[in-house]
């Protein structure tokens, strides 16, 4: 009986001790539970400090080390003369490219060749016994290319003078004329080529056989684009700044 009463007394004290602990969200805040919660909060704070301060500092240190290594390499190149050698190679390459510039520009048309273009085309047509119907310039002067038709890299760097040409001749005559135009020294582009039959041959039936009299005549129209480099004087120069007035000078 004595042991039973003592057990009940001790059990009652433990229940009373637990009831004295605070309860949050149905969980009794015993020392063990509080220890676990504080431990989790400590881990969260550690991860926050790691991501906010430690990792950026490590990345910054790595970047500084990489910059230092790059500068050391450049310094070694300066000491060994490697950088000076690279500069000399670039200068030699630039000189080679500049020496090719006259050859490249010689491929383009110029105002003098444009003046004789009509005469050249007419000579080709007469030599092939064809007929020139139309040779009409689109504009009196060459215009700056801005439509990207030759690629965006040459926009506002090259000029174009367009001519509309219409000729009448046989298939062989027309082909020979176009080939002669393409062989001209200036850079010419033939575009929008169209042709139609305007005079078919005559078919004769004689002695049970069909004979062809005459040749098929074609009317062909196309554009001739003469390509010219842009003149330095065509490049707009920045307007000079207006001189400061006396009032502005006094303010300064």
- Of 105, 134, 169, the last residue of a domain is 105
For residue 129, with 0-12 CB atoms within 10 Å meaning exposed, 13-18 middle and 19 or more buried, which class applies?
A: exposed
* Residue-level pLDDT at 176: 95
Q: Cα separation of 208 and 67, whole Å?
A: 95
Q: What is the CATH number of the domain that holds 183?
A: 3.30.70.60
Q: Are 35 and 68 within one domain?
A: yes
- Of 84, 105, 126, the last residue of a domain is 105
Q: Cα separation of 140 and 97, whole Å?
A: 34
Q: Is residue 215 part of a domain?
A: yes
CB distance 230 to 159 below 8 Å: yes
- Of 50, 77, 105, the last residue of a domain is 105
Q: Is residue 219 part of a domain?
A: yes
Q: Cα separation of 186 and 189, whole Å?
A: 10
Confidence of residue 94 (pLDDT cuts 50, 70, 90): confident
Residue 201: count of CB within 10 angstroms of its CB: 14
Q: Is residue 178 part of a domain?
A: yes
* Residue-level pLDDT at 172: 94
Highest mean pLDDT among 61-65, 155-159, 217-221 belongs to 217-221
Instruction: Tell the residue number behind the tokens 């001209």, with chain if given.
Output: 184
pTM of structure: 0.51
Would you state the structure tokens that stand for residue 170, as one six-digit string?
A: 């046989």
Q: Are 96 and 138 within one domain?
A: no
Q: Is residue 240 part of a domain?
A: no
* Residue-level pLDDT at 196: 94
Per-residue pLDDT at 194 exceeds 90 = yes
Q: Are 2 and 65 within one domain?
A: yes
CA angle 184, 113, 230 (to 5 degrees): 105
* Residue-level pLDDT at 220: 96
Q: Are 56 and 99 within one domain?
A: yes
For residue 15, with 0-12 CB atoms within 10 Å meaning exposed, 13-18 middle and 19 or more buried, which class applies?
A: exposed
Which of 143-147, 161-165, 191-195 is predicted with the least confidence, judged by mean pLDDT?
A: 143-147
* Residue-level pLDDT at 81: 67
Q: Are 101 and 213 within one domain?
A: no
* Residue-level pLDDT at 212: 72
Instruction: Tell the residue number behind the tokens 């009448």, with chain if given.
Output: 168
| 3-state secondary structure (DSSP) of residue 247 | helix
Q: Are 35 and 64 within one domain?
A: yes
Q: Are 50 and 161 within one domain?
A: no
Per-residue pLDDT at 122 exceeds 90 = yes
Q: Are 97 and 136 within one domain?
A: no
Would you state the structure tokens that stand for residue 37, as one six-digit string?
A: 């919660």
Question: Is the model more confident about 170 or about 59?
Answer: 170
Indicate the angle between helix axes 55-80 and 82-106, nearest 10 degrees: 80
pLDDT (average), residues 217-225: 94
Q: Which residues form the domain of 206? A: 111-234
Q: Are 10 and 57 within one domain?
A: yes
Which of 9-18, 103-112, 167-176, 181-190 is predicted with the least confidence, judged by mean pLDDT?
A: 9-18
How many domains does the chain contain in total? 2
Per-residue pLDDT at 222 exceeds 60 = yes
* Residue-level pLDDT at 173: 95
* Residue-level pLDDT at 248: 54
């Amino acid at each position: 009986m004595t042991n039973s009463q003592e057990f009940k007394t001790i059990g009652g004290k433990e229940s009373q001790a637990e009831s004295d602990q605070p309860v949050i969200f149905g969980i009794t805040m015993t020392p063990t539970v509080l220890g676990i919660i504080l431990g989790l909060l400590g881990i969260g704070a550690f991860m926050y400090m790691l991501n906010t301060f430690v990792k950026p500092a490590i990345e910054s240190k790595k970047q500084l080390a990489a910059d230092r290594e790059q500068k050391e390499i450049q310094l070694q190149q300066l000491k060994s003369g490697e950088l000076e050698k690279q500069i000399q190679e670039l200068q030699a390459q630039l000189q080679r490219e500049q020496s090719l510039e006259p050859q490249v520009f010689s491929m383009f048309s110029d105002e003098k060749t444009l003046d004789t273009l009509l005469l050249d085309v007419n000579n080709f047509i007469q030599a092939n016994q064809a007929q020139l119907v139309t040779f009409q310039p689109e504009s009196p002067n060459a215009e700056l290319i801005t439509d990207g038709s030759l690629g965006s890299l040459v926009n506002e760097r090259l000029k174009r003078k367009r001519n509309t040409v219409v000729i009448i001749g046989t298939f062989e005559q027309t082909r020979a004329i176009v080939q002669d135009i393409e062989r001209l020294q200036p850079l010419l582009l033939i575009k929008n080529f169209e042709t139609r039959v305007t005079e078919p041959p005559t078919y004769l039936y004689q002695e049970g056989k069909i004979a062809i009299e005459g040749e098929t005549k074609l009317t062909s129209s196309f554009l001739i684009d003469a390509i010219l480099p842009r003149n330095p004087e065509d490049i707009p120069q920045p307007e000079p700044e207006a001189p400061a007035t006396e009032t502005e000078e006094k303010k300064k």
